[in-house]
Amino acid sequence: MKIEIKNICCIGAGYVGGPTMAVIADRCHDIQINVVDVNENRIQAWNSENLSHLPIYEPNLDQVIKRRRGRNLHFSTEIKYHISNADMIFISVNTPTKTKGIGAGKASDLKWVEASARQVSKYAKGETIVVEKSTLPVKTALMIRQILETSLEKTNDSQTDNKQFYVLSNPEFLSEGTAIQDLECPDRVLIGGENQEAIKALVNIYLNWVDKEKILTTDLWSSELSKLIANAFLAQRISSINSISALCEATGADVKEVSTAIGADKRIGNYFLNASPGFGGSCFKKDILNLVYICNYYGLHEVSEYWQKIIDINNWQKQRILRVIVEKLFGSVSGKKLAILGFAFKANTNDTRESAAIHICNELIIEGGNLYIYDPRVTRKQIEEDLEISENEYSYGGEGSWTFADSILDASRGADAVIVLTEWDEFKNIEWSEISTVMRSPSWLFDTRSITDQSEAKRCGMKLWSLGCGSKLQSINLMPS
């Protein structure tokens, strides 16, 4: 058997499906790619003439779309039709944490994966390679295979066509904000499977632009599990450095200096050591929760508790920052104007899923703060959805509210504090001489990403709290005996 891939269908036109298929289309001009989704608005946005209206913001994504859309890259809601024409089908649908029933709050909700597999089972024709692109619990390929096989039994009865399925795992490691760069120059591509010809067909696609040495092939379960573990290890580094940020503040050390010093050791490495208000994004929390669930399922309770701590520290960090802000502002933010700079979970994306800003802003509103929120890419509508509070409405029966701001200056006018929550480049070069004059005194800067020009802010008379930066006065304290 030799499977030639001429037509790909990707189910799910989200943050992974859209950019991943765009890059494959850009590198493989002789393959026709159809990205399908049940969400009509999303597909419409992918097809919009104006490239600034694409449903997601990623640097350089618009250029790739411009080059390939309408040529070998298409976005459509014709799911059945494109499944039936495909030689290879990527399942790239959402796999959020279950909110109800068995495993609620921990296990992955696989209903969208199951629905996709059922559609593939029903409409695919001939030999089809089904690729898991979504992040999935280990052994999901078994479920997909079982669903696909149900149609084989039925097909054999009616003898309508000659279906054959091969399931592969090909998890995606892109990060938002650098998705195109990550897809074009991946550290590795991971492919798990059993059928060598099917694996070869997918390897051949990546060989169009990825070095052979970077394409790792393995079995299905190792591939599925590696994706969860990669995310767990990355998140673990952030919780580790965030826990140390608190110790730095207590002892007078500076977490940035500590990161630099430990990161210089090749065995540790200098990536993912930036202290922050806590990791956000759609992946880390859900994937670790899923790992915790799987470990418990297999009776590995100590392992499960170990990984749960990564999430506990992440939650604690957000709460700790909130407490610092309230305490520094004389113990109350009630009726005070606070400028919030950044709402996305990281810079260079409009994605706000699990952003630390959501929790911190909600809690500040409960405390009675009047927030003026500015983010270069996040829309007013998105903030409203995330906070679940209408703009300019008093909430929780108190004085707290939020308002959308069009600029840093707009957010800061009359504010008691500027609170930096996302590391956008724009916040690195704020003109503090201008901002400090429009604020109310004493004016505070809370920098939870340590990215602003802090000496300039201080020079302009602002009071400063920077995450993980111990006060020089505290540094003379000796270790408690």
Kindly list the residues in this chain that would bind ligand NAD in the complex (CB under 6 A).
11-17, 36-39, 42, 79, 92-95, 112, 115-116, 134-135, 172, 174, 176, 282-283
Instruction: Return the exposure string of 20-32: e unless at least 16 CB atoms fall within 10 Å of the residue's CB, then b.
Output: bbbbbbbbbeebb
Among 176, 224, 367, 375, binds ligand UDX (CB under 6 A): 176
The token duo for 95 is 């796999």
Question: Which residue out of 9, 10, 283, 295 is catalytically annotated?
Answer: 283
Report the distance separating Cα 93 and Cα 135, nearest Å.
Answer: 9
CA atoms lying within 13 Å on the CB side of residue 467:
28
- Cβ distance to ligand NAD smaller for residue 15 or 446: 15
The verdict on 339 binding ligand UDX (CB under 6 A) reads no
- The listed partner (ligand NAD, ligand UDX, none) that binds 13, CB under 5 to 8 Å by sort, is ligand NAD
Give the x/- contact pattern for ligand UDX in 133-172, rule: CB under 6 A: ---------------------------------------x
- Cβ distance to ligand NAD smaller for residue 92 or 276: 92
What is the size of the binding site for ligand UDX (CB under 6 A)?
Answer: 19
CB of 249 to ligand UDX, least distance (A): 16
Report the distance separating Cα 92 and Cα 6, nearest Å.
Answer: 19
CB of 378 to ligand NAD, least distance (A): 15
Bridge partner list, 213: none
- The listed partner (ligand UDX, ligand NAD, none) that binds 272, CB under 5 to 8 Å by sort, is ligand UDX
Taking alpha carbons only, the member of 83, 71, 76 closest to residue 32 is 71
CB of 424 to ligand UDX, least distance (A): 11
CB of 456 to ligand NAD, least distance (A): 34
Say whether 283 is catalytic. yes
Angle at 13 between CA 7 and CA 15, to 5 degrees: 125
Angle between helices 301-328 and 284-297 (to 10 degrees): 150
Q: Which residue number has the CB closest to ligand NAD? A: 14
- Return all residues near 403 (Cβ < 8 A) that are at least 6 apart: 370, 371, 372, 373, 391, 392
In degrees and rounded to multiples of 5, residue 357 shows phi and psi of -60, -35
- Cβ distance to ligand NAD smaller for residue 11 or 198: 11
Give the catalytic positions in this structure.
Answer: 283
